[in-house]
Amino acid sequence: MNKKNLYTNVALAIIILFGIYGYIRINSLSNKIETLSLNMIDFQTKTASTTIELRTSINETRTILDKGLTQQTQNVGAIEQRLQQQVGSVVGTVSTLQKLSKTDPQLLAKYSKVFFLNENYAPARLTEIPTAYKFSDKKAVSINADVWPHLQALIDSAKSSGIGLLVSSGYRSFSEQKALKSDYRVVYGAGTANQFSADQGYSEHQLGTALDFLTDNSNGELTGFYKTPAYQWLLANAYRYGFILSYPKDNQYYVFEPWHWRYVGIRLATDLHDQGKNFYDLDQRKIDEYLVSVFE
């Protein structure tokens, strides 16, 4: 073999070796690239899965927080409502106490042979009943000033219905009641007088909230009042203005007095009317519950 062929063979061998080496290197790199690609795909898959899990977790956490916030908001609202109710209750209690402090506690007491008013008691404010509402213009007749608007409305309403109601007697002081009772004893005797007239200190008239009615055509006579349309009108309507009949038939205190009416407030008068009860049928503690609303 000549040198030329030898060199040629050596060169070919070297080229073949380099080709084989290059192929091996390329194949190795290709495998590495493929492995990297698979790793990248796996990473992307895991990343995507983790992202989904994170988003799900975030959404769940947000939902929980929203529910918690909503619940806390509701709790705060409920607390505020309870506080408002409690404040309202306290304000209402204070308002009630203020009203009671300004209201005469004697106004709804049972005075007929039960409670006693001493000689120094008189309503805080009295007002004289105008002549047009009295039976006689020869004497002054007074009544509790807070009762007068209700009495005026009652008489005006009766008049609009064709009923002529007039006041014959209103407030009487301790001494006036004493003098009146003395006169009755002289005229009728003590036993008879006790059946229709209270002793001083036990008369509803001293409160300034009780009055006696007459009709405009009665000639000043109380007897027979129960037969008049005026009495029937009072039975049907007086409660609307806060007045009740103190001594109906068969009461345990005095004879039947259809002309004698007492102001006790619209609420109490209405309840008595609706329940078919008499003022003196109720326990005093029950009556006292109406004191705060007596002039409403």
- What pLDDT, on the 0 to 100 scale, is given for residue 96? 52
pLDDT digit string, tens, across residues 220-235: 788 889 999 999 999 9
Structure tokens belonging to residue 198: 């209270």
- Asked whether residue 17 carries a pLDDT value surpassing 80, the answer given is no
pTM confidence score = 0.68
Which residues, in sequence order, are bridge partners of residue 144?
A: 126
Report residue 48's pLDDT band, with 50, 70 and 90 as the boundaries: low
Q: Are strands 260-263 and 210-215 parallel, antiparallel or unpaired?
A: antiparallel
Which of 44-48, 171-175, 210-214 shows the lowest per-residue confidence on average (mean pLDDT)?
44-48
Host H or E run for residue 79: helix 3-101
pLDDT digit string, tens, across residues 138-189: 899 999 999 999 999 999 999 999 999 999 999 999 999 999 999 989 888 8
- Greater model confidence, 193 or 236: 236
Mean pLDDT score of the chain, rounded to an integer? 84
- Asked whether residue 89 carries a pLDDT value surpassing 50, the answer given is no
What is the rounded distance in angstroms from the CA atom of residue 260 to the CA atom of residue 243?
A: 10
CB of 195 within 8 A of CB of 255?
A: yes
- Greater model confidence, 22 or 166: 166
Task: Supply the CATH classification number for the domain 126-293.
Answer: 3.30.1380.10
Mean pLDDT across the stretch 226-253? 95
Report residue 114's pLDDT band, with 50, 70 and 90 as the boundaries: confident
Mean pLDDT across the stretch 248-273? 94
Mean pLDDT across the stretch 285-289? 94
> Strand, coil or helix: what is 256?
coil
Report residue 90's pLDDT band, with 50, 70 and 90 as the boundaries: very low
- Asked whether residue 25 carries a pLDDT value surpassing 50, the answer given is yes
- Asked whether residue 195 carries a pLDDT value surpassing 90, the answer given is no
Each domain of the chain, given as residue ranges in start order, spans: 1-102, 126-293
To 5 degrees, how large is the angle CA 223–CA 266–CA 209? 50
- What pLDDT, on the 0 to 100 scale, is given for residue 265? 97
Nearest Cα neighbor of 222 from 209, 210, 213, 233 is: 213
- Greater model confidence, 50 or 90: 50
State residue 136 phi and psi, 5-degree precision.
-125, 140
Q: What is the dihedral of CA 167, 168, 173, 177, to 10 degrees?
A: -140
- Asked whether residue 87 carries a pLDDT value surpassing 50, the answer given is no
DSSP for 113-133? TTS---TT---S-EEEPPGGG
Q: Which residues contact 221 (CB under 8 A, 6 or more apart)?
A: 214
What is the rounded distance in angstroms from the CA atom of residue 261 to the CA atom of residue 207?
A: 12
What is the rounded distance in angstroms from the CA atom of residue 166 to the CA atom of residue 169?
A: 9
Which residues, in sequence order, are bridge partners of residue 269?
A: none
- What pLDDT, on the 0 to 100 scale, is given for residue 101? 60
Report residue 207's pLDDT band, with 50, 70 and 90 as the boundaries: very high
- What pLDDT, on the 0 to 100 scale, is given for residue 140? 94
- What pLDDT, on the 0 to 100 scale, is given for residue 208? 96
